[in-house]
Structure 1
Amino acid sequence: MNARHDIPSSSSPAAGALGADAAWAALAGAESAEALCRAWLAVLCSLVPGVQVGLLLLQDAEGSYVPAAAWPEGTELQRLADVARECLTTRQGVRRQHADHPTQLAYPLSAGATLHGAVVIELLDPSPEAARLSARLTHWGAGWMADLFDQRELAGARKRLDESAFLFEVSLAALAEPDFRQAGLTLVNKLAARFGCHQVQLALVNGPQLETSAVSHSAWFDERANLTALARGAMSEAFDQRRPVIWPEPEDSAEGQVLRMTHARYAADSGSAALASIPLAIGAAPPFAVLLFERGTPFVPAELKGMELLAGVLAPVLEHKHARDEGLLAHLRRSARHAAARLTDASHPGLKLGAGVLALALLIAALVPVEDRVSAPAVIEGAVQRAAVAPFDGFLRDAPARAGDTVKAGQVLARMEDRELQLEKVRWETELEMAQRKEREAMAQADRVNQRLSAAQANQARANLDLVLSKLARVELTAPFDAVVVKGDLSQQLGAPLEIGKTLFELAPLASWRVMLKVDERDIARVQAGQAGELVLTGAPGQRWKFTLKSVTPVSVVEEGRNYFRAEAELADPGSGAALKPNMEGVAKVVAGERSLLWVWTHRFTDWVSLALWQWTP
């Protein structure tokens, strides 16, 4: 470094410390990150006057800050812990000065927003000038650490890029093969070259056993060979334990008890110094294949981690290739096993609980019998309906009654105009009197011809008078019994002409009702006379009326695009109809026997399917 000769150097009084020249030489010749950190701290401490102790803290792979170098080596550094912690927490320079103690200085080492560590030193010189000099030299030397950090990140990025490139390469190579056998062979060959293995084997799960599918550097292998069988046994250990099995056991292994007996036997027979069996599984599903790596040198932790990463990426690729080569029957069996495994594993407990409850509910619904009740729209009508019609041609004089009114027997419903009838009455009375007088005169004169003629005229006048009197007696239309007016409102037609026989009112008795049901043609086969049921009206949803079917009309009517059959029912308790009104509508349910609850829920759909199949079947 050119700047080296422009900065004053000083020798540390500590025993065993490097001199300035030796520190510079060590810094220039550092071959590892650890050596570089020690040399860098030694150079910094040799340049700053009055340094007693130096400490370099760097972040490790787990995110903790640990000592990377100390100066002089072997020095107790516990007294620097507090100032170092404060510097790392605040990310700012910290200075602590106590009476009769050296000055402690701490400076953060950061690149951008990332804090990589801190430098802590103790100065015998408490002056501000010494603190400023140490800060300036620390900032100057931080370039070495920044370069170290950049190299670390660059090396990590290159490693990740290389691993990602290999993952893409091996995945695409396997997917490009026409079938699973070729894909497996390509895969084991590339893995053997990647990890320096003399052999890599792939075994596929077939029920409770494993079958060898591919062996690297070999287009053909004998499945009955002893070594092949031992290799399958070794891979079965990993499959049964659902975890990777490494032989020999790594020194820093923290996995607990792992069975490796078959691995040891296979290693002894095959002459392999290191074995690694890696199960291939998708998510939490059981493994469907196992990879066995064999080579003459032990596997390092980074390689084992890479193998597990590869297993997670290659598992879906191999499963996809294998599924494409399966026959229909094998695919159905595998799908059934997969579904059964999904039903019995611990995934989605809420959905499985809900499915179990639903299945139990369907089972109960299929076994428990309930009443089969046919629903139908219903309307209340009077058991006997009487029509009040116009007794003769005339004009309406008054109509005090209207639809919905309750009337008593003899109560006037309407009155017709009687003026003309009164005049006609007078006329016929006069003619009758004149005919009778003529008849008496003819009798007195013994004139039989005039007598008979006058008698005939009197009879005609008498008949017409009786007719007029009968009409006058019917001028008022009265209720024949206690009833409710079902139909008729003439209050807006006073003075209107009326024709004889025209219906003016319809009346129904107050306590005598019938229920008319409209039964859908899909349910008519289950409905017959004599069946009981219940009626709920829209106007009284909290009350139920029991009834019995009297008859079912065999003629259908079309309403709203569907066929309906009218059925007549009578109330079981005649006195319960006191609160009913004519034309009240509701829903009636007729009990048509007992069926399972599941049939009641689904019979409409199953009937439709049956009819559709019958229609479409040739």
Structure 2
Amino acid sequence: MGTDIIPPDDLRPARIRRWLARQGRLITGGATRGYLYLSSHELDNHPEPSLRCYWPDHFDEPGYFLRVCSRAEKEQRGVVLSFQEEQGVLKKEGHSGGSVHIAYPLLFANGQYLVSAFELYPKDQQQLHAAMLQLESGLRWLKDELLTSEKQRAENTKPLLTLARLQTQVQQGESFTEAAQLLVNSLEKILACQRISLALYQKNRAHLAVISSQAIRDNASPVVRDIEQAMEECYDQGKQILYPQTSATPECITLRHRNLAKTQGSGSLMSQPVPGNDTEPGLILLAERSATTSFQPAEAHFFEATALALTPTLLTKLYKEYRLTTLLSLRVKEGYRKILTKKTRMQVTAATTVALLLFCFFARGDFRVEADVTLSGTIVRGIVAPFPGYVAEAQKNAGDHVEAGETLAILDTTDLSLDQLSWTSKYTQADLEYRKAVADNDTSRAKIIAEQKKQAEIQLSLLQLQKERAEIKAPFSGIITTGDLSQSVGGPVERGKLLFEMVPDNGFKILAQVDEKDISLVEKGQLGTLVFNSLPRKNFRFSLTTITPVATAVEGHNSFRVEATLEEQSSDRLLPGMKGYGKITVGRKPLVYIWTRNLLDRLRLLRWKLLP
């Protein structure tokens, strides 16, 4: 039955053949054959119609059927032709005994013509007119049916197209968060919701990931917690929840959904879980809508299909953000679950736990005491003002590296120069008086003046020495740790005032603060390793040299000062004052002792306090 010609859209042969057979029975005048043609109507081109279906079953297409259909399409009206004449309209007199071919065209909005033609034997003009009316009515019914089917098909495919667009949008997200945000924002518009939330279910609780059209600023806020609790309620039941419930929805527990609707003013809620497993997190979607509009069954089905279809894509983007160690752990767990049964897994877990405990009790490791450390110089030289005066120049400041003999600062020598001129004048006068006394042979006076001359000479030497000391120089090569005279140029300084402090280049020591609970374990000569805050990638070894038996309070705890020497003194990256974190190796102990020592000591102290 039928034809091999493939019909477009809904022009299926079986369907059209049933329509042709029905029309053949309804048309008065004894219809014997029927044909249905389809053609495209264009202004400048009129191609011949193509046959889509025929009735009855045997195929016979006389040429006049095609001609009558082409004429009906061209004239855009019903056409009647007799078998005896190929052109012109049937005469008005009776037509008993002769066959007549009628055709009627029907135009669709897409420019296509549907033309139907029948062969019949009418007895008179009245039967012919009735046959034309029946054919026109039947074609219009067929057109309505085709349009209704097209609309229904469009409605059925609309959710699939929407889901495909969502899939494309999610794929465009570069990260899990971005892709999830695109999904919830699109769902908010499609479902006309107030808010769409998406969460991951991990470690037996929901973790809210994104909210539509807004950012999550505080994960501990009441709103976030209410949403997460409603999602957990949905995930625990493992099925979609619609709130408020009706007689048509499955019975569910909705306590958390009711609380969320009450606190946030949402009249309708819809949540959908996608279960996970030990290696993959679950996913939960939650939609909120105002009280005036509830969720329809079609929307619930679309919501469920969206969650199930897009979860693999979102999880793929989530795995890309995981570290390599996390991915390896997930794959190991997955393989572990697939290879071993539940009973075997329990046995392996128990055996592994016992083996780890035995290893911790018998294996030994380095027991190290922790301490905060500071880098200091082995020699700290203070440079003071040699005489009272004023600062003339400040050439170096704290942090500068200087060589031995390099000028650090210069004091003003104006007063010294004036004193030097005064004493030079006194010395010259004393020398003249001394020569006169010698010439007069006044021995006693000559001795007195000689003493005055000697005093002036000493004062001049002292002033000259002070002028030389006015240029303050570095006693050795090193780093200035304190001292900044750049803001004191022109200011007075007293004799003995500390101007600079210096430490040598390679002379460093370590000052460590050891907590009082660990000081009993520390001894001279023990080795340790430290890391400075400014050099976290390099370890420095040190050796203890001095333990100060005096406790000092540091950050609310008593600690003892311990000094140590660095094995590496030549690093140009070491600067006095650098702080870090050190560990002193005090021996080898079992691993379980190393990990539980602090806890056990605290329990012992607590027991001592509580027991009478």
State whether TM-score is above 0.5. Answer: no
Q: Shorter-chain-normalised TM-score: which range?
A: 0.3 to 0.5
TM-score by length of 2: 0.43
TM-score by length of 1: 0.42
